[in-house]
Amino acid sequence: MEFDGKTALVTGASRNIGRAIATELAERGANVGISARSDLDGCNETASRVEAAGGEAAVALADLTEPDEIETMVADIRGELGPIDILVNNATVRPEKPFLDVELEDVERAQNVNFRGLFLTTQAVVPDMIDNGGGSIVNLLGAMVYLGRPGHVHSYGSKMGIEGLTRQLATELGPDGIRVNGLSPGLIDTGREETEAWMRTKERLIDATPLRRIGTVEEMATACCFLASEDASFVTGQVLHANGGTYPIPNIVPPE
């Protein structure tokens, strides 16, 4: 169990990939801090799964657009579980609006969660890692950041900045023993509503995926745990594209 004695913090952990990552970390020995913006019931369900897997769990809600809430969230997790060794920046927003209709507040909302919120969360956690002599950070991106999707210029554009941040932090924090990597999931089965438009999009994506299927949240959790673990001890500043081979095939997603 490669994370015995380690404390992890997973943002956006109330459901889907974030929940699967938190559970997998616990199965591998970690205690896990669980955070989301407002879904307390979802976070508590994730905490139950972490505890069932053998880990200790702590829940702290935080709106990542609010710097004070980020500081409080990290302090609360640290207070319950101890210094943080592993950070998984999974929280995100993906608002949809045609480019010419996007207003300044739309851009600021996406930027403040997807980039600034991730930046400030990392800044609040890194001192623990420096004091501990090292740590691991995994930042979630997503295949659509690279493939492109109509109506998401402001949301996926803000997430592209995460790749640049990942590379810069890997360079700056490497001497402190801190590794920083990205994980970019492809089309993943998260149990979303199967609308007619979504079914059309999913079929086209599957046809364009060399493995001819969608991925699972459990597969993303395993990939994330690899990056966070000592199995990836010489891996930093990289983005792992766990997407069945779709990247970098462009223009496969039609407007809905």
Structural domain includes residue 82:
yes
The overall average pLDDT reported for the chain is 92
Alpha-carbon torsion, ordered 182, 186, 191, 195, to 10 deg: 140
Is residue 59 one of the residues assigned to a domain? Answer: yes
Residue 98 belongs to a domain: yes
Assess contact for 34 and 7: CB atoms under 8 A.
no
Does residue 160 fall inside a structural domain? yes
pLDDT surpassing 70 at residue 16: yes
Omega of the bond leading into 250 within 30 degrees of 0 (cis): no
Instruction: Determine the pLDDT at residue 40.
Output: 97
pTM, whole model, 2 decimals? Answer: 0.92
CATH code at 73? 3.40.50.720
In three-state form (DSSP H/G/I as H, E/B as E, the rest C), the secondary structure along 51-68 is HHCCCCEEECCCCCCCHH
- Residue 248 pLDDT: 58
Show the 3-state SS of the chain: CCCCCCEEEEECCCCHHHHHHHHHHHHCCCEEEEECCCCHHHHHHHHHHHHHCCCCEEECCCCCCCHHHHHHHHHHHHHHHCCCCEEEECCCCCCCCCHHHCCHHHHHHHHHHHHHHHHHHHHHHHHHHHHHCCEEEEEECCHHHHHCCCCCHHHHHHHHHHHHHHHHHHHHHHHHCEEEEEEEECCEECCCCCCHHHHHHHHHHHHCCCCCCCEEHHHHHHHHHHHHCHHHCCCCCCEEEECCCCCCCCCCCCCC
43-89 tens-digit pLDDT:
999 999 999 999 999 999 999 999 999 999 999 999 999 999 999 99
**In the predicted model, is pLDDT for residue 13 greater than 80?**
yes
pLDDT band at 163 (very low <50, low <70, confident <90, very high): very high
Contact 186, 219 (CB under 8 A): no
Containing structural domain, residue 172: 7-242
The per-residue pLDDT for 146 is: 82
> pLDDT for 75-126, tens place per residue?
999 999 999 999 999 999 888 889 999 899 999 999 999 999 999 999 999 9
Q: Is the pLDDT of residue 167 over 50?
A: yes
Is residue 209 assigned to a domain?
yes
Mean pLDDT of 142-170: 89
Question: Is 155 a domain residue?
Answer: yes
Active site residues: 156
Which region among 24-28, 174-178, 242-246 has the lowest average model confidence (pLDDT)?
A: 242-246
CA atoms within 13 A on the CB side of 151: 8
* pLDDT at res. 256: 45
> Is 1 inside a domain boundary?
no
Of the candidates 107, 88, 123, 65, the one whose C-alpha atom is nearest the C-alpha of residue 6 is 88
Q: Of all residues in the chain, what percent carry a pLDDT higher than 90?
A: 75
Which of 204, 205, 200 shows the shortest CA–CA distance to 188? 205
110 part of a folded domain: yes
Domain count along the chain: 1
For residue 247, what pLDDT band results from cuts at 50, 70 and 90? Answer: low
* Residue 96, pLDDT score: 85
